[in-house]
């Protein structure tokens, strides 16, 4: 019993010391080790032994991160003030650079995305921005990715979320859209009238070319009208015809 007690008395301090010395790096992390203030190594996932006082461990998350870029006031190329926001996806490719070459890479990427987004909006008109959001987003991504390369950051994508227009401009755009719809309606209506007039002219030409065709068409119209007893037909006879009939009656 005394031997077991002695062994346990010796083992427990060793276990406590080992727990104090061991550091765990998770699968989605990389460990930056500074020995006496200088960079010494990068720890891969797993358990590692650190020397207290002399060494310091900083863990870097290498998973993809989403940064919500807050609303930014910007002016387009055609001098229209708007508010725009976006989300940027990036990940740490070089943990050493992300820790040693920039103070706070998360904050740095967010600020870089804000300034780049404002500059990109200033290079296009409002119509181009609304019609080509994907191309504008791709341009912002390339700029931010190139500028953040020295920090060991890889930008995956940039997505423009909302483009907020002034209320007065919204009303103007609505009026323009309404006028455009009315214009299209008038054009379509006029095209229908032209087609109808063309068909009627062609029909008149065919009827005039055949002797008696017009009379047959008149009889057919009368027959169509007489098929329903509720119809009332009013015939308009020129005055000249009545005078001719009157003269003919007097001669007879």
pLDDT digits (tens, 9 = 90+) for 81-112: 888 889 999 999 999 999 999 988 999 999 99
Of 70, 77, 89, the C-alpha closest to 164 is 70
User: What does pTM read for this prediction?
Assistant: 0.63
| Higher pLDDT pick, 215 / 118 | 118
| Higher pLDDT pick, 239 / 83 | 83
How far is it, in rounded angstroms, from Cα 156 to Cα 19? 38
Asked whether residue 196 carries a pLDDT value surpassing 60, the answer given is yes
65-170 architecture in CATH?
A: 2-Layer Sandwich (3.30)
Give the model's pLDDT for residue 229. 62
Tokens 């200033």 belong to 122
Which residues lie closer than 8 Å to 83 by C-beta, 6 or more apart? 71, 72, 73, 74, 162, 163, 164
Strand partners, 57: 33
Give the model's pLDDT for residue 192. 74
pLDDT band at residue 235 using 50, 70 and 90 as cut-offs: low
How far is it, in rounded angstroms, from Cα 106 to Cα 67? 8
Alpha-carbon dihedral 6, 11, 16, 20, rounded to 10 degrees: 140
- As a whole number, mean pLDDT of residues 185-206 equals 72
- As a whole number, mean pLDDT of residues 237-246 equals 55
pLDDT band at residue 4 using 50, 70 and 90 as cut-offs: very low
All structural domains of the chain with their residue ranges: 2-61, 65-170
Tokens 């740095």 belong to 108
Query: CB of 147 within 8 A of CB of 109?
Result: no
Give the model's pLDDT for residue 125. 87
């Amino acid at each position: 019993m005394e031997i077991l007690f002695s062994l346990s008395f010796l083992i427990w301090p060793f276990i406590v010391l080992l727990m104090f010395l061991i550091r765990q790096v998770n699968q989605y992390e990389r460990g930056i080790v500074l020995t006496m203030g200088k960079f010494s190594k990068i720890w891969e996932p797993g358990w590692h032994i650190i020397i207290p006082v002399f060494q310091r461990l900083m863990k870097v998350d290498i998973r993809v991160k989403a940064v919500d870029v807050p609303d930014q006031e910007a002016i387009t190329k055609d001098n229209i003030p708007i508010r725009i926001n976006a989300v940027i996806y990036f990940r740490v490719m070089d943990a050493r650079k992300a820790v040693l070459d920039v103070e706070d890479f998360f904050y740095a990427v967010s600020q870089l995305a804000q300034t780049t987004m404002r500059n990109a909006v200033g290079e296009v008109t409002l119509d181009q921005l609304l019609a080509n959001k994907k191309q504008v987003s791709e341009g912002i991504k390339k700029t931010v990715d190139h500028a953040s390369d020295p920090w060991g950051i890889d930008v995956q994508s940039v997505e423009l979320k909302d483009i907020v227009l002034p209320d007065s401009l919204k009303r103007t755009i609505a009026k323009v859209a309404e006028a455009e719809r009315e214009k299209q309606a008038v054009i379509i209506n006029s095209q229908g009238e032209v087609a109808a007039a063309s068909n009627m002219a062609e029909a008149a030409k065919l009827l005039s070319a055949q002797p008696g065709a017009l009379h047959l068409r008149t009889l057919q119209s009368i027959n169509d009208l007489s098929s329903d007893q509720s119809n009332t037909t009013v015939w308009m006879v020129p005055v000249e015809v009545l005078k001719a009939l009157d003269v003919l009656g007097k001669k007879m």
